[in-house]
């Protein structure tokens, strides 16, 4: 399964603060040398002070410079435990410095690699607030996250001031310190990392292995926030999306993958079948070998039709099934009605497959498909991964139930909703057919529950709006109620 690179850019994470601890750096001449290098080469003005209690004095102040950094010198006179200097790059200065580091513009020899360490590294994510009437939802998120962190024995503070709420988690001196607060039309999620949080990445950072560095830091950012705030509020929809795409699943090559699904109305069996085959096809091509076409953002994949037949659970020896699957694959070049169901921009094109060719090859005259696939589609990381049993269907009722489960599950919200009458489809069914459908439905939900895709508790709402909670679905309960509510299991392992 393809995974997009885990980078600050891909996660919209902003470098917000960087500091370096340089042990033994106390000589004013050596400090001035570093300050001059940063000023002349990159336009940083600088200030300096002795220990935390002193006041800052200008070290370098040039009108042409746009950056501003700070030196704090610790001498043995004031601190017998550690002597040296801390160099701090706050806010945009940190973001600029990190760009320079990525471009390999920094001469680390100026700092002495034997004694320098990364002292602190901050990242933040800005969640856009769409409307002003979301204030109450933000307050609810803050309050629920406060209670959640407190229930886990964390030190937590929730401050309400004129600007808005500020949530602080952990002590400021801890290795991971969190702040969440409103900032103009955004909600800012900050993570301040130092001490133990940076131990394992020191050598990676200074050896300029920044791909690995960003992967580790980004994963840590998501993992830490997953365990610190509530996930069922809209304020963390961005985090849920990342966690879903990073979750570890076993044998994912045989599973069914899907993106978020928009409001779908598939009326006929043919529409349902074509839509399902398209999802099967997107899942299947994730495991195919690719070759990149020259000078184009397109990959080419070649595979025997029989491989897709096996993946989709069809009889590979059946002439009827081969003919049918060939027609289905050919139909994927005109996808507009299907693409409207998928929510991501990479699917917003009727030319996902610029070239699709089917021909007989080899001595055995085997049907082989050659398809060019837009890079964004092939490389897309799907948020939802369903068990292998969802990859195929046995009959029209099995397909109907699976599509309704996919529609409800593949949504942004943690709490999912299924209108039970929808699992029967639009046609009038006999009681026997309804019983068969309920049996399929219960078996699939038991599998989702067993494999921890969903929480073990369900809520059912009757026609009279009465709610019932249960740990076990039955055919009787399905026949007596109109809505089923269930929760996605958000204990993602990343």
Same domain, 339 and 374: yes
Same domain, 228 and 156: yes
Same domain, 187 and 209: yes
Domains identified in the chain, total number: 3
Same domain, 241 and 261: no
Under DSSP, is residue 472 helix (H, G, I), strand (E, B) or coil?
coil
Residue 276 sits in which domain range?
A: 253-378
Q: Indicate whether 425 belongs to any domain.
A: yes
Same domain, 352 and 275: yes
Q: Would you give per-residue pLDDT tens digits along the chain (494 residues)?
A: 444 579 999 999 999 999 999 999 999 999 999 999 999 999 999 999 998 777 999 999 999 999 999 999 998 887 788 999 999 999 999 999 999 999 999 999 899 888 999 999 999 999 998 776 577 889 999 999 999 999 999 999 999 887 778 999 999 999 999 999 988 889 999 999 999 999 999 999 999 999 999 999 999 999 999 999 999 998 999 999 999 999 876 556 678 999 888 777 787 888 889 889 989 998 998 888 888 877 677 889 999 999 999 999 988 889 899 999 998 888 887 765 455 555 555 555 446 777 888 998 888 888 999 988 888 888 888 899 999 899 999 999 999 999 999 999 999 999 999 999 889 877 789 999 999 999 999 999 999 999 999 999 999 999 999 999 999 999 999 999 999 999 999 998 88
pLDDT of residue 1: 41
Name the burial class of residue 278, with classes exposed (0-12), middle (13-18) and buried (19+) by CB atoms within 10 angstroms of its CB.
buried
Q: Which of 335, 352, 378 is the last residue of a domain?
A: 378
Q: Which of 350, 378, 406 is the last residue of a domain?
A: 378
pLDDT of residue 30: 96
Contacts 24+ apart (CB under 8 A), 437-444: 437/397, 437/400, 437/401, 438/475, 438/478, 438/479, 439/475, 440/397, 440/398, 440/401, 441/401, 441/405, 441/473, 441/478, 442/473, 442/474, 442/475, 442/478, 444/389, 444/390, 444/401, 444/402, 444/405
Same domain, 267 and 237: no
Same domain, 261 and 237: no
Residue 145, domain CATH? 3.30.160
């Amino acid at each position: 399964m393809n995974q997009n690179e885990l980078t600050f850019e891909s996660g919209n994470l902003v470098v917000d603060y960087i500091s370096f601890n340089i042990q033994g750096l106390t000589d004013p001449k050596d400090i001035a040398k570093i300050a001059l290098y940063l000023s002349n080469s990159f336009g940083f003005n600088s200030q300096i002070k002795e220990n935390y209690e002193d006041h800052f004095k200008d070290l370098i102040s040039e009108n042409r410079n746009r950056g501003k950094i700070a030196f704090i010198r610790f001498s043995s006179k004031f601190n017998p435990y550690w002597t040296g200097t801390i160099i701090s790059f706050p806010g945009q200065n940190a973001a600029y410095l990190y760009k320079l580091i990525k471009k390999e513009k920094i001469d680390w020899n100026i700092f002495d690699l034997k004694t320098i360490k990364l002292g602190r590294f901050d990242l933040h994510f800005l969640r856009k607030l769409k409307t002003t009437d979301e204030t109450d939802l933000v307050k609810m998120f803050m309050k629920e996250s406060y209670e959640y962190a407190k229930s886990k024995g964390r030190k937590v503070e929730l401050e309400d001031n004129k600007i808005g709420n500020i949530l602080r988690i952990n002590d400021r001196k801890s290795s991971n310190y969190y702040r969440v607060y409103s900032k103009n039309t955004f909600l800012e999620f900050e993570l301040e990392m130092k001490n133990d949080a940076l131990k394992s990445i020191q050598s990676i950072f200074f050896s300029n292995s920044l791909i690995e560095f960003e992967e580790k830091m980004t994963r840590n950012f998501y993992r830490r926030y997953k365990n610190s705030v509530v996930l069922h509020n809209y304020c963390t929809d961005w985090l849920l999306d990342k966690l879903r795409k990073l979750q570890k699943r076993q044998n994912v090559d045989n599973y069914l993958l899907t993106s978020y699904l928009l409001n779908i109305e598939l009326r006929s069996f043919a529409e349902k079948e074509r839509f399902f085959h398209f999802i099967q096809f997107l899942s299947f091509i994730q495991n195919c070998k690719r070759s990149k076409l020259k000078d184009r953002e397109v990959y080419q994949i070649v595979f025997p039709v029989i491989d897709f037949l096996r993946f989709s659970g069809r009889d590979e020896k059946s002439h009827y099934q081969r003919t049918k699957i060939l027609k289905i694959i050919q139909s994927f070049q005109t996808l507009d009605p299907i693409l409207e169901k998928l929510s991501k921009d990479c699917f917003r094109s009727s030319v996902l497959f610029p070239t699709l060719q089917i021909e007989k090859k080899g001595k055995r005259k085997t049907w082989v498909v050659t398809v060019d696939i837009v890079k964004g589609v092939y490389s897309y990381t799907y948020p939802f991964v369903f068990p292998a049993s969802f990859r195929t269907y046995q009959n029209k009722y099995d397909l109907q139930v699976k599509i309704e489960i996919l529609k409800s599950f593949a949504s942004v919200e943690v709490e999912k909703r299924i209108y039970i009458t929808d699992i029967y489809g639009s046609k009038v069914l006999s009681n026997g057919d309804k019983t068969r459908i309920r049996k399929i439905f219960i078996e699939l939900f038991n599998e989702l529950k067993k494999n921890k895709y969903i929480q073990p508790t369900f809520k059912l709402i009757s026609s009279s709006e009465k709610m019932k909670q249960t740990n076990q679905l039955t055919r009787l309960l399905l026949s007596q109620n109109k809505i089923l509510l269930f929760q996605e299991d958000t204990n993602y392992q990343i």
